[in-house]
Structure 1
């Protein structure tokens, strides 16, 4: 029995609480990443960087004190409002922290090994800001998709969890498959149906999951996109574009979790 399973059996509640707290802390940072990368990529004036300026209210620019920066707790204590100007703190920041806490706790409870747990946490940490950014800005920045691809290749090279050739073929096939779909759609309709960021995201997920998983990832993403479009159609403008990145990211994570549950690690 591996060490993680022993820890799971010995002190499961403590493991969940500690992992959830770590997830909430990381989620707080990932929320900052998702807020600050788009202005940096679009080279907006005064965009700053990931570390400067310190966390602050976007309306009144009040720098947050330590107690105003506690993941989840501070948002709830302040009732989603800035303590100084009382403007609303975006709900998405709370959701990012809560989702990260839940994912870290659940993965610590269910992962079959430390290797699988590290992989899941790494993957989540890069996918979550990509999902938030693409949902808000229709943008999948290279500064996140490229590290996702390279960490996938390096992870399999170091831990031998998947043949490296399968990961490389997955990256190449993931990019080319959506590239071909993009150009076929453009030649037939004269419109762009996908963005280049979608190609790179699928390439990164191909590096993590292997080329064999690509059909499943694309199928789940397409079905998810169709279902959500049908559900949200009454509330949307017919000219609204759909961000496909979140569906690709979610389906890739689901497939990878399924792979880890079958003890490929």
Structure 2
């Protein structure tokens, strides 16, 4: 209580404290972004191997199990953090958010391989956004909700960028947490939250289905549909049009840049980060945007 009162009276210290905490959270989010897809891959491979064994294809099942053995028993907590290239366990000072990346000049101390720039990027983004939310809402339950919302979106965005998937575990967690945080109308009423989740799923599912019927191609993954539903649970149905317009505009702009850089029209585009960015804007400034439009 004393620490909370002190931080509330000293904005500059509050921001620095929040940034520090945010970078630590960001360090953990890096673990989730790296390991969760590997854990899912191991689970899917085991399921496929079991299906092949049941069907009598023992040789193929053995190949799948052998190829996936490297990720066996992998969890978010085990084994300890290590270099993905040389597999050497990292020392404590290697895990300092941002500082270790700068001190090591972006290279592993053991094998000198380049450290993925995602690590400092997530830590910095998480630190900045966490400090902004705490500065804006102080130490309240709304701060807890906003921070949780942001942290899950950061994980989803970077997983989608790297692996082109949006894990159900995270999207469903985001959806239900949105409804729970809105039980007492923290961001929107419970009714608007539930309708937002239902309408968000059905609307984007309809667009994806129509696109596939017309073009005979998958224009949008089910992960994007579920993420849109989860965002609807947080911002409510009335903010979904704003969210979709923002995400679409950002997606078109980002897609054009990606196509020009890759020099190909067949390059798949991760829409999750654009939905996540639009969701963040809609949650924090949705009412201001709606008031501006209605003027």
TM-score range, shorter-chain basis? over 0.9
Unmatched runs of 5 consecutive residues or more in structure 2: 43-67, 290-295
Structure 2 residue 268 is matched with structure 1 residue 241:
yes
CA distance in 1, matches of 2:274, 2:254: 10
* Inter-CA distance 139–66: structure 2 relative to 1 (3 Å threshold): same
Look at both structures and tell me which one has the larger radius of gyration over its CA atoms: 2
Task: Give the TM-score taking structure 1 as reference length.
Answer: 0.92
Unaligned runs of 5+ in 1: none
SS at match of 2:183: helix
Separation (CA, whole Å) in 1 of partners of 2:237 and 2:160: 24
RMSD value, Cα: 2.1
Using the alignment, how far apart are the partners of 1:121 and 1:160 within structure 2?
14
| 1:153 shift after superposition | 0.4
Q: Which residue of 2 aligns with 1:167?
A: 193
> Counterparts in 2 of 1:113-192, with a 5 A limit?
114-158=140-184, 160-192=186-218
Count of aligned pairs between the two proteins: 260
Q: 1:112: how far off? A: 6.6
* Match in the other structure for 1:257: 284
Secondary structure in structure 1 of the residue aligned to 2:165: coil
| Change in CA separation of 1:74 and 1:161 when aligned onto 2, cut-off 3 Å | same
Superposed, 1:28-43 pairs within 5 Å as 28-43=27-42
Provide the C-alpha distance between the structure 2 equivalents of 1:255 and 1:183, rounded to a whole number of angstroms: 26
Q: Is the 8 A contact 1:8 1:109 kept in 2?
A: no
3-state secondary structure, aligned to 1:157: coil
Q: TM-score, normalised to structure 2's length?
A: 0.83
Give how far 1:261 is off: 7.1
Contact 1:81/1:87 (<8 A) preserved: yes
Alignment of 1:75-86 (within 5 A): 75-86=101-112
Task: Write out per-residue CA displacement over residues 198-247 of structure 1, whole angstroms, 9 at most, x where no aligned residue.
Answer: 11100000000001111111110000011112233321222101111111
